[in-house]
Amino acid sequence: MLGFRLTQRRIAADSIPSTQKHADFASAEAPQSLGLVTKKMSVDWRESHPVAIELRHAFRSFGDHAVLRDVSLEVRRGETLVLIGESGCGKSVTTKLLAGLLEPTFGEVRWDGRPVRGRPQNEKRRDRLRLGYLFQGAALFDSMNVFENIAFGLRENTTLTELQIQQIVHERLREVGLADNVIGKRPSDLSGGMKKRVGLARALAMSPDIVFYDEPTTGLDPIMSGVINDLIVQTQARRHVTSVVVTHDMNTVRRVADRVIMLFPLTGLADDESQIVFEGSRHDVFETDNPRVSQFVRG
DSSP string spanning 190-228? Answer: S-HHHHHHHHHHHHHTT--SEEEEESTTTT--HHHHHHH
H-type alpha helices, 90-221: 91-98, 121-128, 146-157, 162-175, 192-204
Between CA 81 and CA 84 the distance in angstroms is 10
Per-residue confidence (pLDDT) for residue 17, from 0 to 100: 43
Per-residue confidence (pLDDT) for residue 46, from 0 to 100: 62
Q: Which domains does the chain have, with CATH numbers?
A: 2-51+77-99+120-298 (3.40.50.300)
241, 208 contact by CB (below 8 A): yes
Of 46 and 189, the structure prediction assigns the larger pLDDT to 189
| 145 has pLDDT over 90 | yes
- Report phi then psi at 120, rounded to 5: -60, 145
270, 52 contact by CB (below 8 A): no
CA-based nearest residue to 84, from 238, 226, 223, 288: 288
| pLDDT tens for each residue of 70-96 | 999 999 999 999 999 998 899 999 999
The predicted model gives 196-205 an average pLDDT of 90
The count of residues in the chain is 299
Between CA 256 and CA 258 the distance in angstroms is 7
| pLDDT tens for each residue of 56-72 | 999 999 998 999 999 99
Per-residue confidence (pLDDT) for residue 176, from 0 to 100: 87
Which of the residue ranges 6-10, 147-151, 214-218 would you say has the lowest mean pLDDT? 6-10
What mean pLDDT, rounded, does the chain reach? 84
Between CA 289 and CA 31 the distance in angstroms is 37
Three-class DSSP labels, 41-92: CCHHHHHCCCEEEEEEEEEEEECCEEEEEEEEEEEECCCEEEEECCCCCCHH
The predicted model gives 145-156 an average pLDDT of 92
Which of the residue ranges 21-35, 235-249, 277-291 would you say has the lowest mean pLDDT? 21-35
Percent residues over pLDDT 70 in the chain:
84
Categorize the per-residue pLDDT at 125 as very low, low, confident or very high, splitting at 50, 70 and 90.
Answer: confident
**Angle at which helices 146-157 and 162-175 cross, to 10°:** 130
Between CA 99 and CA 203 the distance in angstroms is 13
Which of the residue ranges 79-88, 110-119, 256-265 would you say has the lowest mean pLDDT? 110-119
Percent residues over pLDDT 90 in the chain:
54
80, 36 contact by CB (below 8 A): no
| pLDDT tens for each residue of 159-198 | 889 999 999 999 999 888 888 889 999 999 998 888 988 9
Categorize the per-residue pLDDT at 45 as very low, low, confident or very high, splitting at 50, 70 and 90.
Answer: low
Q: H/E element holding 237?
A: helix 222-239
CA 280 distance to own-chain centroid: 19
SS3 104: coil
Between CA 294 and CA 59 the distance in angstroms is 26
